[in-house]
């Protein structure tokens, strides 16, 4: 299968890995996939955006301290702002079109917005799906919003959206 037909997708920490993977592939001169789909992605393991504190009280799943500690362990000896472990700090130029699915109750929604802004600044195609009242990785739960999110993800992967 040619890379132009592939979708790279990940949720939460897997969204981090997916974005970091395509960034590193670009740096190595490898072809980009057709698209990148990120669901509740953790794109900054430092979790130091003050806006997270406002969401923390409403997020039923994540807390910045826990994500920050997991990020510290994941980073090993790397700086938590190294784009390899926090892809938000790397350039998005030249990446495949990105689709981001985020819920407004997820503390990582703050960084998803930062990713959207970065894509806009760098002229990278990013399709935005923000679900009011949804928590971290809500498409994995049996909620009414699950079906709509899954249908939209499938549409993105099939190429009928991006």
Tokens 């826990």, residue located = 66
Domain residue limits at 44: 10-158
Task: Answer yes or no: is 150 within a domain.
Answer: yes
Q: What is the pLDDT of residues 106-118, one digit of tens each?
A: 999 999 999 999 9
| Short-list 11, 38, 13, CA closest to 96 | 38
Task: Answer yes or no: is 1 within a domain.
Answer: no
d(CA 71, CA 2): 33
* CATH number reported for the structural domain that contains residue 28 in this entry: 3.40.50.1820
In a 10 Å sphere around its CB, with 0-12 CB exposed, 13-18 middle and 19+ buried, how is residue 121 labelled? exposed
Q: What is the pLDDT of residues 68-101, one digit of tens each?
A: 999 999 999 999 999 999 999 999 999 999 999 9
Q: What is the pLDDT of residues 24-55, one digit of tens each?
A: 999 999 999 999 999 999 999 999 899 998 88
pLDDT value at residue 90: 97
Active site residues: 12, 106, 136
Q: How confident is the model over 116-136, as a mean pLDDT?
A: 96
* Residue 1 binned pLDDT confidence (cut-offs 50, 70, 90): low
Task: Answer yes or no: is 4 within a domain.
Answer: no
Task: Answer yes or no: is 77 within a domain.
Answer: yes
Task: Answer yes or no: is 36 within a domain.
Answer: yes
């Amino acid at each position: 299968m040619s890379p132009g037909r592939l979708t790279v997708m990940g949720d939460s920490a897997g969204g981090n890995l997916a974005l970091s993977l395509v960034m590193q592939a670009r740096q190595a001169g490898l072809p980009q996939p057709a698209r990148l789909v990120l669901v509740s992605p953790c794109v900054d393991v430092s979790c130091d955006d003050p806006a997270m504190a406002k969401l923390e009280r409403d997020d039923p799943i994540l807390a910045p301290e826990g994500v920050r500690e997991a990020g510290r362990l994941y980073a090993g000896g790397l700086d938590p702002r190294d784009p390899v472990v926090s892809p938000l700090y790397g350039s998005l130029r030249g990446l495949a079109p990105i689709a981001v699915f985020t819920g407004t109750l997820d503390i990582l929604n703050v960084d998803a917005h930062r990713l959207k802004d970065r894509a806009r600044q760098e002229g990278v195609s990013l399709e935005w799906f923000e679900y009011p009242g949804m928590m971290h990785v809500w498409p994995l739960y049996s909620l009414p919003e699950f079906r709509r999110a899954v249908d939209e993800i499938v549409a993105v992967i099939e190429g009928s959206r991006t």
